Every structure is written in structure tokens, then in C-alpha cells.
Structure 1
């Protein structure tokens, strides 16, 4: 049985470098079953009664593995991503393995993924067994940062990680 993999991208720009990096990482993990580009849902994220956003929260919570990606803004993740994650109840990601991913313009931001995004995912109940992945914007299309991270992270990730990339289901309203 293969794991259900979700991707959540918190960049306010649709189909951004962060989006591309998240899909690259998901492909390395076997492919994404669900891709949520939060930029497509900005009008609904602040509507706490939105059934569309509620369904997205439920789908992410039902995933086995979720890649949570954000650009580095002011040394942390975006407000857009925070609003989405605020919709999860206490322990709303219990039973989900999360992989935090952040992109940034310079190495001085590399600890943002460990200092800000990883603790938020743990607070929501997710298991985060690996270091987060920080990728320089300028290297987001290169294989090397993903290969280096996967070399150390793969033994820590739950098995079985899917081995065949599946077609992505991009979610938009």
C-alpha cells in the first residue's frame, strides 16, 4: 500500500518557485496525490465557513505525508500559510508525517525552516522526523539540494514511500 502524499504551498504568487520546489520534492518522494496552491484560495482562506477550504483541511489531515512549503518572508513562513494552518484543530495533523520546505534568497535564512515552520507543524500534531529542507531560490531548479536532503532524510521517513510518481491532482476552486 502506498502513502497518500499532499503538498501545501503557501506562496501568495501562484505557481511560484516555491510551488515548483515543492513538486520537485514530492516527486522525489514518489509523487503527490493532492497539490494545494494557497494562492488559488486567498479569497476563501479568511472565510472560516468556506466548505472548499474546510475540505482541503480534511484532505491534508487524511494524508500520510504532507510537504508544507513557503518562501522565507521576514525570517519566517508566509501569513498565507499561517492562516491555512490555523484552520487545523489542536492535533489536527496527528498521524501525518510532515516535511517542511522553505525557499530563501540567502543562506542566512537557512534556519528559518527549523526555527519557525517545523515547530508549528509539530504543534499541530504532525510527526516531523527529518530536518526541514531549505533551498536557495537560485537553486530551486537544481537537483543537488533535494538529493542531499533526501540522502539523509529517506531512512527517517515512513515506509513505504511511493516509488512511482503519480499524476498530480491540482486543487483549485
Structure 2
């Protein structure tokens, strides 16, 4: 079967109407209403606006805030069962093709354990082909400005995502002016993301394909 995500605008013909690229924002802060969540929402808006200016249109970003799911994650991972339907739907959404923005605060020089716990539920290379990921981290110290590339990028690559741009770091001192904090990064990153995502836009030839179910998965140390 031909994968619709392999079609390019040239192959579809000039008359084809393109469906918006799905977008998911995954936030790994264990605290509800965090400043990391604010950064994630701001960046999603900036990316949507910037990409639209280059004729790449994102669908309404789907926000996954792990602070809302935190109590369910350990039970799901340890039991190895798919008993929590809302969580299974979230896993299916995250692993679907499209733009995936992953945002975490910096804890002990890396991403949070909550984010790792969630992503450990996916199999190796568990993200669908056509997943374009953007690693984003917030940090309190300038020394952690490059932790998104050093820590979070390899995790997303391991899961099978394409990560075509460098990660974004937003320091606490920049929270008061997020427009300025992300402007330089988006100027460089948006054209690259547009070039990659443009080949992933699908023609409107019927309803979108349903998200795949996520197979039960446990890390090797828990098996």
C-alpha cells in the first residue's frame, strides 16, 4: 500500500488540495501550569505563523501536557497493559506522523524523568515515518543552553524522528520576552522545517488515516 506521506506536491499535481500537517506539542514538566507549558504554547503559535508564511500549513496543534497524565504513567509502564484508554490515545497521537514539538525543563542537566517515562512506553523507533521533531528545553543556567541538542535530540532520533534543526533553549531570564527569546531560532529553523514538512503534506483525497494503536512495550530492564 502506498503511504500518503510519501507524496510530494509535484507528484500530486497543481490542482491537489493539501491537508494541513498534523502538529503535536508534548510537554514534559511534572508541574501543572508551568512556565515550560507557556513556552511550548508560544513556540507552537510562532511556528504555525512562520510556516504559514512559507505555504506550509499546520493543523491546530494538539497539546499533550504530561502533568495531566502523570499519575497514570507508572502503572501503565509497570503493568504493561493498555488498560487506560485516554493514555493509549495520547500515545497514538504522539507517535503519528507530522510535526512533533517536545518541550521539557532541564532537570539535573537533562530532560525530566516524566518525559522519559512516557517515551519509554513507545517501542524502539516507535515514532511513525514522517515524524519531524523539534527538541526544546527551558533552563535556569546559560551552561544548559545546549542541553536540548546534547540530551533530547538523541532520544528523538532513537525513536525514529527526523530532527532537521538544532534544538531551542529558553532560559528563565528570557521568560519575560518570549518573542525575542524565540525570534532568532525561528528565523533560522522555520525555512528548514518548511522544506522538510512540505514534502509530507498530504492531498485531501478522503478522511485522514486513523492513528495506529501502540503495542504494549516495556523497557528491557522491566521485562
Q: Same fold (TM over 0.5)?
A: yes
Q: Which residue of 2 aligns with 1:166?
A: none
When residues 36 and 141 of structure 1 are mapped into structure 2, their CA distance, relative to the original with a 3 A threshold, is farther
Q: Structure 1: 5+ residue runs without aligned partners?
A: 163-173
Q: Please give the residue correspondences for 1:1-173 in structure 2 after superposition, counting only pairs within 5 Å.
A: 1-30=19-48, 32-48=60-76, 49=81, 50-94=84-128, 95-142=130-177, 143-157=179-193, 158-160=196-198
**8 Å CA contact retained: 1:21, 1:141:** no
- Give 5+ residue unaligned stretches, structure 2: 1-18, 49-57, 202-223
Q: For residues 97 and 103 of structure 2, what CA distance do their matches in structure 1 show?
A: 16
Query: In 1, Cα distance between the equivalents of 2:105 and 2:34?
Result: 9
Aligned residues: 162
Q: Which has the larger radius of gyration?
A: 2
Tell me if structure 2 keeps the 8 A contact 1:7–1:67.
yes
Task: After TM superposition, give the deviation of residue 63 of structure 1 in Å.
Answer: 4.0
Displacement of 1:51 in angstroms is 2.3
Structure 2 length as normaliser, TM-score?
0.69
Offset of residue 47 of structure 1: 2.3
Q: What is the distance in 1 between the residues matched to 2:182 and 2:122? A: 28
Q: Distance in 1 between matches of 2:197 and 2:100?
A: 14
Name the stretch that deviates more: 119-128 or 44-53: 44-53
Structure number with the higher helix fraction is: 2
Q: Give me the whole-angstrom Cα distance separating, in 2, the residues matched to 1:63 and 1:146.
A: 24
Normalising by structure 1, we get a TM-score of 0.88
Runs of 4+ in 1 over 4 A off after TM superposition: none
